Amino acid sequence: MKTIKQIADDWGVTKDKIKYRLRGIPSEYLVKNDGVTYVTDEGIQELWGMMNSEKKPISQHLTGVKTQMNTQVDTQTEKIIGILQKELEMKNNQISDLTAAVTDLTTSLTIAQQTAAAAQALHAGTIQHLAGSKPGFFSRFFKRTNDAVDGTNR
């Protein structure tokens, strides 16, 4: 049980507002003792229901606002997540494309290196062949014949 003043202080309203609402509840919820009016716990619940039918308490209003804000934040978060997932998919596709391009370039480079090595070997063989078929500068003047090898000079 509480007094009218205690109820008014707890709920943050005036005593007059509580007195006005007490007119609408049955008298069995009210107890007078030494000129002080007390409201029983059942009466307080009834009074609270009447006050809530008039307007919502600030805590309930704030709860509704919080819920609405949380819903908006959740919606915005979902939109951001969707955008980020699309960007991630695009980046993954770019990485796949670049990996394929690097693989192709590596293969081309390997083929080019093999071709260059083959061309170099062919060029070296050609040089040796040409060098072997041409007489050198000194060999023109100092010919060596097979006889000289045998010990006879011509």
Cα 32 from Cα 29, distance rounded (Å):
10
Q: How confident is the model at residue 98 (pLDDT cuts 50, 70, 90)?
A: very high
* Residues 32-81 pLDDT 10s: 888 888 999 888 888 888 877 655 555 655 676 778 888 888 889 999 99
Question: Domain residues of the chain, as ranges?
Answer: 2-55
Least confident of 10-14, 88-92, 150-154: 150-154
**Pick the residue with more confidence: 121 or 105?**
105
Q: Are strands 30-33 and 2-3 parallel, antiparallel or unpaired?
A: unpaired
pLDDT tops 80 at residue 11 = yes
| Distance of alpha carbon 132 from the chain centroid | 71
Residue 72's pLDDT is 86
Instruction: State pTM to two decimals.
Output: 0.37
pLDDT of residue 106: 96
